[in-house]
Amino acid sequence: MLSHAPRRPAPTPLALADLVGLTRRVADEVRAGRHPVVVDPEQRWYRRLLGDDFVDVWLIGWATEQAAELHDHGGSLGALTVVSGGLVERRWDGTVMRSRPLRARRSVGFGLGHVHDVGNPSTAPAVSVHAYSPPLTAMSYYAVDGGRLRRTRSELVAAGEGVG
């Protein structure tokens, strides 16, 4: 069983504040029409907007009831900004799952060891921008059993593939 490990610095020159700022800037570009968005009712749509040795930036379209599975981001820091609509983040706080609404223009950052899922419970579509540094290379997925967090599987992430 996993416990809530203390936060440690990530192997990246970018801090959480840098990632939050980056997702906010890209969200402004999306709102200005610089990046087309697709909301696919069959599956969560995403597109990589930027990728280099230090950071990946993703644009995600969320239809009603679409969600990401409970996961971490391996050795990467992350941030997201909601462009439009609203999402809900459920995160493991070390003892229980906590929920928080993420409305349009809201940004959050997440450090190493952050385990969460994100979804769109509303009837309106949502759009978000996500950034990870260093770029995602592995993700683990989890279940909460009897008040404990249990890893169910881990997967390698190839460069430019998938987003959590």
Phi, psi of 163 (to 5 degrees): -155, 145
Query: How many residues are given for the chain?
Result: 164
Pick from 93, 67, 70, 43: nearest CA to 141: 70
| Sheet-wide strand order for 116-119 | 97-103, 86-92, 116-119
CB 3 within 8 A of CB 150: no
Sign of CA dihedral 65, 81, 92, 4: positive
Residue 71 marked ligand-binding = yes
Cis peptide before 6 (omega within 30 of 0): no
Binding-site residues from annotation for Fe cation: 71, 73, 116
Binding-site residues from annotation: 71, 73, 116
